[in-house]
Amino acid sequence: MAEATPTRVFVYGTLKRGFPNHPLLVACASPFVGAASTAAPASLVIGPYSVPFLLPTSSSSSSSGRVVSGELYAPSPAALAELDAFEGTHIGVYERRPITVVADGSGEVVEAEAYFAHPSYAEALWRRCGGEAAEIGEYTADHANRKGIAMAASPQQQGQGSQGGSGGGGWSPEQFWSLLDKADRRFARVRDLPLLGRQEPDAFAKAFRAYTQLWRMQQEHRHRLLEAGLRRWQVGEIAARIAHLYYAQYQRTADTALLSEAFVFYHAVLDRAYFLDADHHLTPAKHLRFLARFLLVALLLARRAHTVPRLAADIRALLDDSKKSFQEAEYKEWKHVVQEILRFLRADSPFMNMRPLRYSYAFDLPPDKLPTVPPTVKKRGLVLSDAILCSYYPNEVKFTDLSIDVFRMLQCLEWEPCGSFALNNGYSAHDESGQNQPNLLKDLRDAALPPNPLKTNLNRPSVTHFLTVLATKCEELPSNGIMLIYLSAAGEMGTSGCCPDTGEKIVSNFSKFDISSTSHTSSKEDKEPCLWLGCRETEGSNCIYPGDLIPFTRRPLFLVIDSSISYAFKAVYSWH
């Protein structure tokens, strides 16, 4: 019986050699067949975040198209499944379709498959990109670098420059070791910076610049560095720290493009087995921390099909294999982390094959079709700029300091990295004059997208800490900013119950409140509804009352109360 011909896949974007996502092809052992071009003209456009989309013929029927250049690969069935998951075919981002290509050089005609934009949004995407005028014939490095930040050279470029780099004049391995020492000091400084309060603006840039130089140096001078004692685990540690810096900056800026870059570097470290020869240089605890950080990034990017289960299994296996290396207390701590991961994944499994929680152009209305805000609000120019996400339950499902409630809410406050478009404040869907119609090509630049709000995650905080953070964030809130507060906690109904005038009673009590009086601390008759942020043995100090938020209504607030007594917090609106 003849063997089935392996599927050929034509890639035209970030999976090509020299581009950020090529390590995924390398990791799943997909042999490179050769360079190729489409046999017939096709429509290739650049979407948001510089992501390329090949469009089905029916979506751009009025376009003559262009011959599109790319590369041909021969993935195995397992590798093809990995690629399908990466391209989001199960949630309707891309669709794998047949395509005819011509091999460069030989001119051989090859029947292959390629990932096209899903038909549900392809035509609208083509129009919003600018139609035929926006079509290109080749996705280049210039397109990939239009992300608004300086990117480190991607892991897949490793070794490309090392072949002739050993003869670089004036360079010595001592420069690498000196820079590595400096980079480690800068990394420690960035790692210890608090997420709240004033930051050192240049600290991240200096650390990132140092590690970028190290990464390029080991690419260009790999052979000489190996001779000088460089080990693979050290290369992996550099890549892991670049990923950590990307994630740390994502926490401070909420830019999901940084989260995607962190994933690329973490993925390269794991799939290239950089830590395989670490021996005693990499303790099991340090290796587990690396896997746990990667797992958190993969969860935030919804890589649930393959990456998340693999990482969870690797953490569990490494802990079992390294049990003798841990002190009993440390082993119990990591065992508890493994149990947290399993609980978290079980709780999140119903969402595994659902559409993204982030706003996605593939599933949601285009921004210019969404209901507009009232003119009075629009005139003030208010934007959602900050969010405090707080949860407190005795036995809540969480991983590290991220509860399942906050995990979902966090994604709801972000754009989908590969499927979102810019809002244009001057454009109205009902304006037929065309005078205010946005420049489509300009609006698709990432810098024009409304920025994700900055998010502060507070897991199981004390009431004092919560109010301190809230006061700090309100102080730093821009003049046109809106603060979103998400509180998920168990509630106490109080003696007032769920009566219609509960809000009025709370506001009335607040206006008559005397700070010098002690009667309110022990009055059971006038007990108000509250949220518990702590044990119930000490009532007042562990409760958030609606009146606690009233002083902060001097700034625009958006409250989301995820609790059985959320009705009581309508009093804040009544006061405001």
- Which DSSP symbol is given to 311? H
Question: Is residue 344 helix, strand or coil?
Answer: helix
CA distance 491 to 370: 34
CA distance 287 to 277: 12
Smallest CA-to-CA distance from 415 within 390, 446, 388 is with 446
Examine the residue annotation and report whether 87 is marked as an active-site residue of this protein: yes
CA 495 to chain centre: 43
Query: Cα(first)–Cα(last) distance of the chain, in Å?
Result: 78
Number of Cβ within 10 Å of residue 31's Cβ equals 12
CA distance 298 to 309: 10
Mutual angle of helices 284-300 and 404-412, in 10-degree steps = 50
CB distance 391 to 489 below 8 Å: yes
CA distance 455 to 469: 12
Smallest CA-to-CA distance from 445 within 418, 425, 426, 421 is with 421
CB distance 528 to 546 below 8 Å: yes
CB distance 529 to 491 below 8 Å: yes
In 445-556, DSSP assigns E strands to 454-459, 481-489, 491-492, 530-532, 543-544
Candidates 87, 237, 396, 414; catalytic one: 87
What does residue 308 show for φ and ψ, rounded to 5 degrees? -65, -50
Q: Which amino acid is at 11?
A: V
Rg, Å, the chain Cα set: 27
CB distance 442 to 426 below 8 Å: no
- How buried is residue 182: exposed, middle or buried, by Cβ count under 10 Å (0-12/13-18/19+)? middle
- Active-site amino acid positions: 87
